[in-house]
A and B are shown apart, each in its own frame.
Chain A
Amino acid sequence: MLKCKQASQLVSRALDKKLSMRELFALKFHLLICRYCSRFSQQLKTLNVAISNIGKKIEDDASITLPTETKNRIAQSLDSEH
């Protein structure tokens, strides 16, 4: 039987890679009987979405630009390259 501690680790790992059948089975079973861990699982999914939204927000924010000085510096380095 999984403890919450182990279950929480599996929940996190499952977001990044496929779990083995055994791990997956144990986790699913634990989540069925433990509402705190299923809450936790839900929260990590929410967190993932929110994080990627933050990233996209910054990517789409046209007010954030490469500082002119840096742009000039890069342009100069490009020119000195042969």
Chain B
Amino acid sequence: MTSNQEQKNRDTNNNVSKSHAHDWLNEHGDYLYRFALARLRDPHQAEDVVQETFMAAIKANNFSEQSSPRTWLTGILKHKIIDLMRKSARETVASDLMSEQDANMDEFFDKTGHWEEKPKNWQMPDSALEQQQFFKILQSCLDKIPNKLATLFMMRDVHETDNEEICKELNITTTNAWVMLYRARMGIRKCLEINWIGH
């Protein structure tokens, strides 16, 4: 085998070829877009991270034929989403998200640390119709909290990578992932309580 051929083989083994990348774009582009959209909740941002993912994929040399392209691409996408969140977290350090870090949750607790408004007993939706209503309300509650909080919240769902891992990665710059998640939950919970229970 000439060294030229060897070089060629190495390329096909390690580097993602262009035709591969095009196939993947057609096969997995929509899925990756939905994955990003579910977490970022912003179509433009979702499109951008999908593009970045493919650009990173074609430059990467760690794809092995044994792994599924979708899983591999999704892994890259996750990191792109986290990068984006990290960037925007840096931009908003001084903003409202962080000023709450002294946990002055005055709207939720009284001076003695007791619930200002006691959590009510939730009637959980059981019919399909009720469930749909519940999801609609939940969506609108997610829309009401700052987008970054919503994203952070969406990133840590069940079949996601390790929750702690994501928080750890974000902690590098925000140091406040816990507080942010707590605030997000308190806000969404209250919104749900007002709009679902009182419906």
Q: Is residue B198 within 8 Å, beta carbon to beta carbon, of the partner chain?
A: no
Q: Which residues of B contact A (CB under 8 A)?
A: 18, 21-22, 25, 29-35, 37-39, 43, 47, 50-51, 54-55, 58-59, 103, 105, 108-109, 112-115, 118-122, 124, 134-135, 138-139, 142, 153-154, 156-159, 163-164, 167, 177-178, 181-182, 185-186, 188-189, 192
B51 lies within 8 A of A74 (CB): yes
Chain B residues within 8 Å of A44, by CB = 185, 189
CB A60 to nearest CB in B, in angstroms, measures: 8
Complex interface residues of chain A between 1 and 46 (CB less than 8 A to chain B): 3-6, 8-9, 12-13, 15-17, 36-37, 39-40, 42-44, 46
29 contacts between A and B (CB under 8 A): A3-B109, A3-B113, A6-B113, A12-B178, A13-B178, A15-B181, A36-B118, A37-B119, A46-B122, A46-B124, A47-B188, A51-B142, A51-B154, A51-B157, A53-B135, A54-B38, A56-B157, A59-B35, A59-B38, A60-B34, A61-B34, A62-B30, A64-B33, A66-B32, A70-B47, A75-B25, A77-B55, A78-B54, A78-B58
- Report if A66-B33 is in contact (Cβ < 8 Å); known contacts: A39-B121, A59-B38, A81-B59: yes
Interface flags for A69-81 (1: CB within 8 Å of B; 0: not) read 0110111011101
- Report if A17-B157 is in contact (Cβ < 8 Å); known contacts: A43-B189, A54-B38, A74-B51: no
Q: From DSSP, what is the main secondary structure of chain A's interface residues?
A: helix
- Report if A9-B18 is in contact (Cβ < 8 Å); known contacts: A40-B189, A55-B38, A66-B29: no
